[in-house]
Amino acid sequence: MKQDTFYDLFKRLLIWAMILVLGTWTFDHWEEINYKIFGRPGAADLDFNKVENLPRPAPLISNDELITTRVFEQAHSAVVNITSTTLTIDSWRRVMPQQGQGTGVVIDKEGYILTNHHVVDGANKVVVTLEGGKRIPAALIGTAPSVDLAVLKIPGRYVENVARLGDSASIRVGQKAIAIGNPFGLSHTLTSGIVSAINRQLQNGDGSVLENLIQTDAAINPGNSGGPLLNSSGEVIGINTAIFSLSGGYQGIGFAIPINRAREVASQLITSGRFAQPWLGVSGLAMTKDLAEMIGETTETGILVVEVVSGSPADLGGVRGGQKELIIGNIRLAVGGDIVLTLDHKKVESMEDLTREIGKRKIGETVQLQILRNGRPLVLEITLQENPKH
């Protein structure tokens, strides 16, 4: 009984051992067996390129990236590079050409291009370079220095694309902002960020104030001036115009002129070749507590009129500037002039306030100035005229 049991156990172990050995051998030699049964493929049958020709999956791209790429694809061919050449005379009395770079955006199928005034200011020659590299001489239609805008024109047959103009009144802080331009001569460069703030003010090169600017952190560098600032729908919401920088390069603060304002200015320039804006003709200082004490006034708000331009609407309307000179430290200040309190019953507390309110009026319109003269309140009626600087 015990012998049979041992014999049965031995047979089982032997069978399992044979199965294990056979399985191992078959696994090790399966490729050879497969070739012998089904035939070994010849070298001519092996096509390693078939793997390369298989369709590859599309690269993963986020929704945010997709928005940016689509905006660029829609708008980039409506953006042009601008090269302006100015002739100067050096110390040896030789005429020397100097070139500047900027950007523009095509706004009309007839070939009108919107850019900054400072991009083409004083230029003897302006050349536009299209996206494909074609260089075309451009005609200067008109400029508006006070708002830093200009319009150029190329023949309509060269227009490849026209930018879609949006509505800058609907801009919200935090929305996407995309800039396309020509920084340092690197054409059609895209940068992106957000709208950091709206209704910013910035002193212009001629002393005027640029109003209601869009602030963005999209990188804007020299050469970007005049290019479009776009929203996530690919619509132009602003014209890039300036940066705030201590070094001259990008530091995260750029400014754009709202497209609603730019559209209005461009329309005037295209129609008449000039931009007409109303003018008052005064310069002054915002009243403060310290200034009031220095000049012996009781009011601490309003605008102290320092100077009135001869023949200006303010001069014709009876506004008086400073009558005597006061020395404060190393500053000479004309004092004794009128203090402007309101324009059409709206408080004005700085020259920026006054400039903004005048800019909302039309040439030929009559406005009321409430002033203080020697402590007495007066109301003057001023008929606005066109600003001769424009």
As to burial, measured by CB atoms within 10 angstroms (0-12 exposed, 13-18 middle, 19+ buried), residue 254 is buried
The strand pair at 164-165 and 235-243 is best described as parallel
299 contacts: CB under 8 Å, gap ≥ 6: 287, 292, 339, 341, 372
Cα separation of 201 and 208, whole Å? 10
Q: Which residue has the tokens 């930018």?
A: 163
The two tokens of residue 340 are 């402007």
CB 202 within 8 A of CB 209: yes
Radius of gyration for the alpha carbons in the chain, expressed in angstroms and rounded: 37
The residues annotated with a catalytic role in the active site are 118, 148, 225
Q: Which residue has the tokens 């804007």?
A: 220
Residues 298, 380, 278, 280, CA torsion sign: negative
Tell me the residue ranges of DSSP E strands in 107-187: 112-115, 125-129, 135-137, 139-144, 149-153, 164-165, 176-181
Cα separation of 175 and 232, whole Å? 8
DSSP 8-state code for residue 311: T
Secondary structure element (H or E) that encloses residue 303, with its range: strand 303-308
DSSP one-letter string for 176-207: EEEEEE-GGG-TTEEEEEEEEEEEEEEE-TTS
CB 292 within 8 A of CB 299: yes
